[in-house]
């Protein structure tokens, strides 16, 4: 697994000098890698991106860690065997036409998996768009635009490569980074139960987010989640009847959604209901101290968004505790009379003392998670001085939800991100992230049950 996801040398099998072909696009991304990259083509003639073609991976003198297979499905078993003979550690199979394509494809996939097992080769796919590790400039994907992705602390494990890339690009658009983005595809060899333990031990990964269509062994997935010291958040699709479509996509049967959700809860994994909530939750968990409890203290500069936050938090089962009397007195001394000094605390609008109010609520003994909302105003900006290091000083998550003109907010948002303050662009998204933190704290405190009530 280490050689698959953190290689020193890469071979692109099926590399092509013809722009637009899969082998060209895979090679175009791979050459950004700082290590050695070898284009492999049976013709062995010519070059691509200044690198001469090699006939076979077995002809490469240096030991290759990772092979990217941009070849048709029918030749994949033979290529995987060549990789095994050459001592390759891991391979990514881009081609479809395997288990998702019917009985003949299932047989072909089983053949590939058997060869990989014979050579102890970690195999990602088939039917995958690969993976991205921005910190290493490792783009083992054929998708365009991935060179712009930035490093961060969240690892994405998605059954669908399309969902994996969507999450990564959404994160990038909002100034967030990723540790590793993985499209698992058909999971012939490497699935959730292998990937979760690996990334749990990965020093670049601070949180793991899962996109799950279905799995052959729900219990193994849940056990991997339970054993992970790194926080895990899951999005299980398939509340409606999309089983046939899912099976045609990655060969996955979606299974009983309610059963999976209950299993995740019993095994200490917050479950969310959208890709936006999935990455927001992972982002909050990756950047925040682990909360001691599920009590949320809210500070808002506008009452309307504060009401939306309070409603959404309570509907999701989070607790808005009463603030300590000392905190209420402290806040009351800061705020003018037209405001609200309980929880949520409403300052009426952004004000110079907004940061003092946030600090007071954050230091309250009844509060485990702090969420503030402020509609951005140029004259005041964010209470940067108060927020810098606040999460560390109080050892509590501090989240910011905001909105405003992007060109005006850019500098302040960059400063917040540099200070590891999770930022969200709507009241609902901030509330959902706080709920995920609260749920994680509750599940962690309760401890995972020894047995699930039914097999997932």
Closest CA to 309 of 438, 435, 394, 421: 435
Reported as type and span, the H/E element at residue 207 is: strand 207-212
Residue 396 gets which letter from DSSP?
A: S
Reported as type and span, the H/E element at residue 131 is: strand 130-133
Residue pLDDT, tens place only, 262-318: 889 889 899 999 999 999 999 999 999 999 999 999 999 999 999 999 999 999 999
Say whether pTM exceeds 0.85.
yes
* 223 contacts 452 by C-beta, under 8 angstroms: no
Which residues, 6+ apart, have CB-to-CB distance to 106 below 8 Å?
98, 99, 251
DSSP for 272-296 reads: ESSHHHHHHHHHHHHHSPPPSSSBE
180: which 2 tokens?
């590793």
* 211 contacts 254 by C-beta, under 8 angstroms: no
What mean pLDDT is reported for the chain? 91
* 147 contacts 139 by C-beta, under 8 angstroms: yes
Can you list the domains of the chain with their CATH numbers?
1-129 (3.40.50.720), 149-287 (3.40.50.261), 290-443 (3.40.50.261)
3-state secondary structure of 178: strand
| Average confidence (pLDDT) over 154-180 | 95
* 422 contacts 175 by C-beta, under 8 angstroms: no
Residue pLDDT, tens place only, 36-57: 999 999 887 899 999 999 999 9
Q: Percent of the chain scored above 90 by pLDDT?
A: 76
Residue pLDDT, tens place only, 66-76: 999 999 999 99
């Amino acid at each position: 697994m280490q050689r698959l996801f953190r290689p020193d040398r890469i071979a692109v099998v099926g590399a092509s000098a013809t722009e637009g072909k899969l082998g060209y696009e895979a090679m175009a991304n791979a050459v950004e890698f700082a290590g050695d990259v070898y284009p492999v083509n049976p013709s062995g003639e010519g070059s691509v991106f200044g690198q001469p073609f090699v006939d076979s991976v077995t002809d490469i003198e240096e030991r290759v860690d990772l092979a990217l297979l941009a070849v048709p499905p029918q030749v994949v078993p033979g290529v995987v065997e060549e990789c095994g003979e050459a001592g390759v550690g891991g391979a990514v199979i881009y081609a479809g036409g395997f288990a998702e394509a019917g009985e003949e494809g299932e047989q072909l996939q089983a053949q590939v998996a058997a060869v990989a097992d014979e050579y102890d080769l970690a195999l990602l796919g088939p039917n995958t768009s690969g993976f991205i590790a921005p910190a290493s400039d490792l783009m083992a994907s054929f998708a365009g635009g991935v060179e712009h992705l930035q490093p961060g602390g969240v690892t994405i494990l998605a059954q669908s490569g399309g969902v994996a890339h969507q999450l990564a690009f959404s994160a990038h658009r909002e100034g967030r980074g990723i540790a590793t983005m993985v499209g698992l595809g058909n999971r012939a060899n490497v699935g959730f139960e292998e990937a979760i333990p690996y990334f749990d031990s990965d020093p670049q990964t601070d949180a793991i987010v899962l996109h799950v269509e279905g799995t052959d062994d729900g219990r193994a997935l849940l056990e991997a989640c339970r054993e992970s010291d790194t926080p895990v958040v899951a999005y299980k699709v398939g509340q409606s009847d999309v089983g046939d479509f899912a099976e045609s996509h990655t060969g996955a049967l979606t299974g009983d959604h309610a059963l999976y959700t209950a299993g995740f809860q019993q095994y200490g994994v917050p479950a969310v209901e959208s890709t936006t909530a999935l990455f927001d939750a992972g982002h909050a968990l990756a950047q925040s101290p682990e909360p001691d409890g599920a009590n949320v203290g809210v500070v808002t500069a506008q009452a309307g968004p504060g009401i939306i936050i309070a409603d959404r938090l309570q509907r999701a089962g989070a607790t808005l505790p009463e603030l300590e009397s000392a905190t209420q007195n402290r806040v009351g001394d800061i705020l003018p009379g037209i405001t609200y000094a309980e929880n949520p605390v409403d300052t009426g609008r952004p004000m110079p003392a907004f940061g003092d109010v946030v600090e007071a609520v954050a230091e309250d003994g009844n509060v485990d998670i702090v969420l503030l909302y402020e509609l951005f105003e140029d004259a005041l900006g964010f209470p940067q001085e108060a927020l810098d290091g606040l999460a560390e000083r109080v050892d509590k998550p501090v989240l910011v939800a905001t909105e405003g003109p992007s060109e005006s907010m850019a500098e302040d948002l960059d400063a917040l991100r540099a200070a590891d303050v999770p930022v969200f662009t709507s009241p609902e998204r901030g509330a959902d992230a706080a709920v995920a933190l609260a749920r994680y704290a509750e599940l962690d405190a309760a401890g995972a049950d020894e047995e699930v009530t039914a097999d997932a």
